[in-house]
């Protein structure tokens, strides 16, 4: 690749109408808990098909509010996946619960429902599946399990806005779901997240908790709960509202990038693209991830790509092997063999809705050249 040009790993898709709406929020003089938040919550609930949507500061705070609403307390167990960003498990610890990690399905990278069922104990209070990379989990099986055992089902949908299962939007299967909107997500608010739920009591509690536990009247004097500052500001809400208005276009463009990558990468030896999953699911592409063969040194591959101005990232480092979790819970390699194997062989390539054909060609050419050099 000539010159110093570097293919971007990710990039937000910011349009003139996004800037216009954020400017309107700034010019309004109402910068928090205002009309743009109200409009976003109404529009997002309609898009997902939920009764309530609650805007919050980020995905971590949204997950924390769900765990709090579920009543998780000292020693209560929550079954979840270790193949995720660490916030998925941290939110359980915030309420002194215990994350119980079970292994993932080899094809989908998502929580294995059979293994989740086997992990249920008398202390289990909830299951928190993660729609990894925007691929929906096996929600019917998880719904049935939670219904039979009286467990709360909380969807970590931070990577999955617009994804569908059996023709129904993710975010409508559990007691609540959380969608995150960091700049590398399908749509962005810069930061920010939205919790969806059909339960009016959960919705009311979350609205209070995000605003320092204030009463429904919103007065400064009446604090009914131990709350937090998890508010979503008006500028972020305005950006989210504008992005939501063209979410279908953003998802189509990402799907087109995936299709082209799939076609180009299938011919590279030692590289495996994600196989098509059952037709009952429609993914919403968050990142583009490949798997590398065991004979390829992934670290050397990353270095070779970097030398060609192509960034790449391992996804994810298993939560149970993070230093804090090792120290606190004593986890070691071998606890979750499928998770650990997938984590050791996956690699995210540059990906966003505006990735050009030239950029994709450069990524593929560099990967083809790097694979030979990286072979062990």
Which residues participate in catalysis according to the annotation?
Answer: 185
Q: Got the DSSP string for 126-159?
A: EEE-B-GGG----HHHHHHHHHHHT-EEEEE-TT
DSSP state letter for 231 = P
Q: Got the DSSP string for 340-374?
A: HHHHHHEEEEP--TT--HHHHHHHHHHHHHHHHHH
295 — phi, psi (to 5°)? -75, -5
CB within 8 Å of 334: residues ≥ 6 apart: 340
Structure tokens at 165: 């299962």
Distance CA 341, CA 346 (A): 9
Distance CA 359, CA 312 (A): 13
SS (HEC) of 271-338: EEECCCCCCCEECCCCCEEEEECCCECHHHHHHHHHHCCCCCECCCCCHHHCHHHHHHHCCCCCCCHH
């Amino acid at each position: 690749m000539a010159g110093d040009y570097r293919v971007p790993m990710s990039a937000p898709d910011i349009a003139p109408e996004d800037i216009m709406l954020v400017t309107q929020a700034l010019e309004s003089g109402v910068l928090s808990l205002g009309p743009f938040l109200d409009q976003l919550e109404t529009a997002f609930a309609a898009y997902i098909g939920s009764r309530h949507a609650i805007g919050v500061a980020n995905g971590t705070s949204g997950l924390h509010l769900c765990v709090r609403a579920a009543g998780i307390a000292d020693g209560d167990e929550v079954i979840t996946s270790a193949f995720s960003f660490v916030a998925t498990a941290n939110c359980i610890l915030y309420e002194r619960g215990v994350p119980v990690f079970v292994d993932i399905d080899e094809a989908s990278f998502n929580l294995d429902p059979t293994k989740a069922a086997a992990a249920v104990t008398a202390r289990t209070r909830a299951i928190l599946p993660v729609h990894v990379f925007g691929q929906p989990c096996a929600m019917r099986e998880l719904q049935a399990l939670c219904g039979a055992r009286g467990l709360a089902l909380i969807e970590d949908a931070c990577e999955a806005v617009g994804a569908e299962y059996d023709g129904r939007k993710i975010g409508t299967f559990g007691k609540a779901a959380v969608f995150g909107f960091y700049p590398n997500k399908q749509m962005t608010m810069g930061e920010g997240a939205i919790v969806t739920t059909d339960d009016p009591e959960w919705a009311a509690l979350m609205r209070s908790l995000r605003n320092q536990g204030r009463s429904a009247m919103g007065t400064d004097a009446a604090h009914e709960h131990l709350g937090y500052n998890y508010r979503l500001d008006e500028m972020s809400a305005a950006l989210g509202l504008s992005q939501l208005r063209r979410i279908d276009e953003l998802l189509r463009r990402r799907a087109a990038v995936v299709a082209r990558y799939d076609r180009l990468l299938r011919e590279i030896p030692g590289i495996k693209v994600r196989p098509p999953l059952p037709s009952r699911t429609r993914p919403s592409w968050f990142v583009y991830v490949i798997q590398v063969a065991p004979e390829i040194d992934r670290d050397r591959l990353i270095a070779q790509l970097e030398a060609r101005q192509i960034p790449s990232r391992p996804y994810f480092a298993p939560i149970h092997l993070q230093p804090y979790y090792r120290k606190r819970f004593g986890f070691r390699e071998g606890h979750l063999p499928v998770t650990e194997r997938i984590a050791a062989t996956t690699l995210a390539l540059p990906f966003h809705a505006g990735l050009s054909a030239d950029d994709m060609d450069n990524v593929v050419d560099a990967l083809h050249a790097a694979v030979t050099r990286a072979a062990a």
